[in-house]
């Protein structure tokens, strides 16, 4: 059987894209996964890269540990394991993969979940700026030497094609699976079942980067009509209020069953960098899979989804007046129709069972 090594530095328990890749692999593969965090699964052999207590650029030591030690460690693991196929998720694992697998570079899949060199924080000081520019030069050069470069939206694909003058790019969107086998989070169920107002929900990191303080400020204008539930790791210490409730992170398997308890899913990013401008977030499709109307930040990709599915509204989440105007519209629309349209389009067009065909076809050609 072919030996495939999937590489990521993310917390694999909560990385739905990685989990879906593994579940999609057909018989005929010995699966090895290098990731971060504790994980046990009989389907594959797991290697814990083990850096969960560190922040990438907090100090010079952490910078060196993440950018050099972890990548060199990954390089050695690949050399010792000798897989037939390497699937590298994001540039942090692609770089060591390329040099470890240089003689078999046609067997590398580079899966870029975002525009790596446009991440938030990569230009915060001179050291990170210089290092980021070097990574940009390397990425630009190396992706032309491999056959399979995967990304998550057509807008990001178009960006790479123009910026790097390359055409070997495939889009595999991060879509939920049709089959969800779990129950909702009990504490959230017990709380929200009593709520009579229109129920909005956001799930994900509760942080400044995700524009959560702005969202909270806006919802203060709708205490009688709307309730907002925030689910995720609270990085900014939010307090509950009359129409806002905060819950901690929940297990990935419980996400969609829990979201089904609500009416409208919110994603309030500002489109103030290229990744936000060109992104097509998994969160939108999680909301659709949960039969929710959607209220999301506006970019090329999200506007296309909302206009095609007729399942909600987009807004400029840097403009308070614009967001309030769009929220007012939810008082007037047929909310059940929006919710039905979301689920119908998820079933017919936006699910992993359809999307994984692109990934499986790539593997067949390796």
DSSP string, 180-204: ------HHHHHHHTT--SEEEEEES
Say if residues 210 and 271 touch (Cβ distance below 8 Å). Answer: no
CATH T-level topology, domain 2-175+352-364: Rossmann fold (3.40.50)
Q: Which residue from 6, 19, 5 is spatially nearest to 252, judged by alpha carbons? A: 19
Just give the CATH number of 186-348: 3.40.50.2000
d(CA 2, CA 164) in angstroms, rounded, equals 32
Say if residues 233 and 203 touch (Cβ distance below 8 Å). Answer: no
Q: Is 158 helix (H, G, I), strand (E, B) or coil?
A: helix
Would you kindly state where each structural domain of the chain is located, as residue ranges?
A: 2-175+352-364, 186-348
Please list the pLDDT of the chain residue by residue as tens digits (366 residues). 899 999 999 988 888 899 999 999 977 899 999 999 888 777 889 999 987 655 555 678 888 898 999 999 999 999 999 999 999 999 999 999 999 998 999 999 999 999 999 988 787 789 889 999 999 999 999 999 999 999 999 999 999 999 999 988 999 999 999 986 689 999 999 999 999 999 999 999 999 999 999 999 999 999 999 999 999 998 899 999 999 999 999 988 899 999 999 999 999 999 999 999 999 999 999 999 999 999 999 999 999 999 999 999 999 999 999 999 999 999 999 999 999 999 999 999 999 999 999 999 999 998
Say if residues 362 and 256 touch (Cβ distance below 8 Å). Answer: no
d(CA 8, CA 30) in angstroms, rounded, equals 17
Tokens 């779990």 sit on residue: 182
Q: Is 143 helix (H, G, I), strand (E, B) or coil?
A: helix
Q: Which residues of 209-220 are buried (b: 16+ CB within 10 A; e: fewer)?
A: ebbbebbbebbe
pTM over 0.95: no
- Tokens linked to 185: 């989070």
Partnered with residue 148 across adjacent β-strands are 109
- Tokens linked to 280: 């097509």
Tokens 């230009």 sit on residue: 123
- Count CB-CB contacts under 10 A for residue 14: 15
d(CA 174, CA 301) in angstroms, rounded, equals 13
């Amino acid at each position: 059987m072919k030996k495939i090594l999937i590489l990521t530095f993310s917390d694999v328990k909560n990385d739905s894209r990685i989990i879906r890749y593994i579940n999609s692999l057909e018989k005929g593969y010995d699966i090895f996964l290098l990731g971060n965090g504790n994980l046990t699964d009989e389907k594959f052999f797991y290697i814990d890269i083990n850096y969960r207590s560190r922040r990438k650029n907090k100090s010079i030591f952490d910078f060196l540990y993440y950018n050099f030690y972890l990548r060199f460690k990954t390089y050695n693991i690949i050399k010792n394991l000798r897989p037939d196929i390497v699937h590298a998720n994001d540039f942090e694992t692609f770089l060591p993969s390329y040099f470890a697998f240089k003689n078999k570079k046609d067997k590398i899949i580079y899966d870029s979940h975002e525009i790596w060199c446009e991440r938030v924080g990569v230009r915060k000081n001179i050291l990170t700026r210089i290092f980021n520019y070097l990574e940009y030069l390397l990425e630009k050069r190396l992706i032309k030497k491999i056959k399979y470069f995967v990304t998550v939206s057509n807008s990001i694909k178009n960006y790479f094609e123009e910026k790097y003058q390359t055409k070997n790019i495939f889009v595999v969107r991060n879509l939920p699976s049709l089959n969800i086998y779990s129950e909702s989070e009990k504490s959230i169920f017990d709380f929200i079942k009593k709520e009579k107002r229109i129920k909005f929900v956001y799930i994900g990191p509760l942080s400044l980067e995700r524009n959560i303080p702005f969202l909270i400020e806006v919802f203060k204008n709708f205490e009688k009509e709307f309730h907002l539930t925030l689910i995720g790791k609270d990085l900014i210490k939010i307090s509950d209020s009359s129409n806002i409730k905060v819950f901690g992170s929940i297990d990935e398997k419980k996400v969609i069953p829990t979201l089904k308890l609500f009416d409208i899913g919110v994603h309030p990013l500002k489109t103030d960098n290229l990744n936000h401008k060109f992104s097509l977030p998994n969160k939108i499709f999680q909301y659709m899979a949960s039969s929710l109307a959607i209220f999301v930040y506006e970019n090329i990709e999200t506007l296309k989804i909302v206009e095609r599915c007729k399942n909600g509204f987009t807004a400029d989440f840097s403009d308070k007046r614009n967001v309030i105007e769009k929220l007012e519209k939810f008082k007037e629309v047929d909310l059940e129709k929006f919710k039905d349209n979301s689920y119908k389009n998820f079933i017919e067009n936006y699910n992993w069972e359809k999307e994984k065909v692109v990934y499986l076809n790539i593997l067949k050609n390796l």
